[in-house]
Structure 1
Amino acid sequence: MSQSQALIPLFPPGLARVLRVIPLAPLSLSLTAYSQKIAKSHPSLFRRLGEFDHVKFVLDPVDLPFVICLAPSGGVPRVTVTRGKGDGVARISGPLAALIGLVHGAYDGDALFFSRDLVVEGDTGAALALRNAIDDAELDLAQEIAAISGPFSGPLLHLTAFIQRHTQVYLTRPEEAEAW
């Protein structure tokens, strides 16, 4: 085990087993709706993909029993959660906490790659374009969820902070987490 692996929390195996039997269509629909909201509030995220704005990416959280397939579709993204390998031009694999931490800038992608905590397969140019687009957007997934949650935004942010403190999984940007 690499030194960084010891620091990256893994999804609890018992919960991962439960996820093996849940239907994935509702999760796919929810993630598609969520990603389309992000596309509307951060249109440059998808423009920044350049020539890769119509390719499919596979995000493979190795500690979960499914993969997440992202089709940016020129700014009208579609997300499909599937069991098995998924289909895409680039696959980015690693623990869920590392993948989420990359979105929030909590982990250095190069360090994760060279320590083999993160594995990139397929078109590395496409994977790099996705990483750069996400880095430039400075997304905060918890804030994005709160923005579309109306009166539930406050309680959701408190729940997110609680979960983050107790799991060490970055659900928000590190500078935001320190403010809580």
Structure 2
Amino acid sequence: MQSERLIFRKFNLDDIDDVYEFGSDDETCEFVTWDKHKNLIETKKVVEDIFMKNEYCFAIVEKISNKCIGSFDFRADIKNNSLTFGYVLNKKYWNKGYMSETLNFMLDYAFNTLKVNKVCGLHIKENVASGRVMEKCGLKIEGEFEDAEFFKGRYITLVYRGILRRNYKGE
């Protein structure tokens, strides 16, 4: 699958160095829900045991460089015909529109290929940039959960956003 500047594909072991680059970076990992990677062995385990085993986990690859610059995944709620997504992007590629391009592509995939009724995302309230990406792509705030999780030594507020099929691009 691909958009204008990006390729979305399954992860493979050739991605380990690129995943370690963003998975071990303090700034990139500030708002992700997992601990930053300590070494390449840990990254290899994450790629093999999580990324490669999840049918809906995609490497975000920049076409021009063929570099894996991030990940995007869906978690399915079969009973409710909905998906919840998560993403991370290497900080070297922030503020270039790559995450908005990714989310727009994945929303189209979710609604028009997978035929789900709803797509949801969560972000830490302080992660304003992630909230802007979701808002730009049409996701509306459906609630805030104060002190929702104990995260990296503190309680955090999570912002829950969603979009319904009927509200996606006027449908």
State the TM-score, normalized to the length of structure 2.
0.29
For CA contacts below 8 A with separation 6 or more, give which structure has more relative contact order: 1
State the TM-score, normalized to the length of structure 1.
0.28
Q: Greater strand percent: which structure?
A: 2
